[in-house]
Amino acid sequence: MILLGTAAAASSSRLDASCYTAIVEDTGQPDPQVWDAPQHQGQDVADDVLQILLASRYCEVDSVLKDLAWTLSGRMLSGWLRVQAICAFVHQHVRFDYMAARADRTALETWRERVGVCRDFVHLAITLCRCMNIPARYCTGYLGDIGVPPAPYPMDFSAWFEAFVGGQWYVFDPRHNVPRIGRVLIARGRDAADTALTTTFGGHQLVSFTVWTDEISQEALRQPQYSPRF
């Protein structure tokens, strides 16, 4: 079981967003690994999958990233192996820096700047996959430190992506580049523009923002504070 929540406060005249909490049941298993999942030809996938190959706001498929993509694996790798090679490349060449986050960084800018947060890692990996004719879509949600050492920075929402190989969508994570436990999906889209966690109209300033995702036991669920309230 996973206990998750969000609390935020913004100021223009002052808006306090209500605190959201939920308990989610998870399998406790890490992301599946299907190393022999093949890549599909364009004519073999459905139209709604095929359109995911197109460029989007933060993923410039028609750019110099196309040439970069082909240097990573060319015709040597395909399918799952190709996607994993892309994830490993992004993980090795982009430095994670929470303080370097910004809302308008694109995949190409991430490659040039070599720094970013999880969404930037994902945008770059998605773009490289699309350049290699692999449909890839953006995912955002909760990802706690379950089964791994706690991260030394504040918890935030997380981003990963799904690639269409072997006849279905599979999770890939270039930020961590290891299978993880306890992903709680909020939204999917072409990129972060389709999956905004907050949309505001007019001026505002974020005053505070807290995200938590914790593993809880069946015994803890029987405590009064976790009892459903209606």
pLDDT in tens, 161-189: 999 999 999 999 999 999 999 999 999 99
Q: What is the pLDDT of residues 84-119, one digit of tens each?
A: 999 999 999 999 998 999 989 999 999 999 999 999
24 domain residue, yes or no: no
Domain that holds residue 117: 29-197
204 domain residue, yes or no: no
Domain at 145, CATH number:
3.10.620.30
What 3-state DSSP class applies to 213? strand
**Burial of 168 per CB tally in 10 Å (0-12, 13-18, 19+):** exposed
Spatial neighbors of 88 by CB under 8 A, at least 6 apart, are 174, 177
pLDDT of 23: 82
pLDDT of 4: 57
Q: What is the pLDDT of residues 185-201, one digit of tens each?
A: 999 999 999 998 777 77
Token couple for 206: 């974020």
Asked if residue 132 has pLDDT above 90, the reply is yes
How many other C-beta atoms are found inside a 10 Å radius of the C-beta of residue 182? Answer: 24
Give me the number of domains the chain comprises. 1
7 domain residue, yes or no: no
pLDDT of 113: 97
Token couple for 58: 């933060």
Interval 9-36 mean pLDDT:
75
Interval 43-57 mean pLDDT:
93
215 domain residue, yes or no: no
218 domain residue, yes or no: no
Is this prediction's pTM over 0.75? yes
Max intra-chain CA distance, the chain: 58
Give the least confident one: 11-15, 128-132, 187-191.
11-15
49 domain residue, yes or no: yes
2 domain residue, yes or no: no
Interval 132-141 mean pLDDT:
96
17 domain residue, yes or no: no
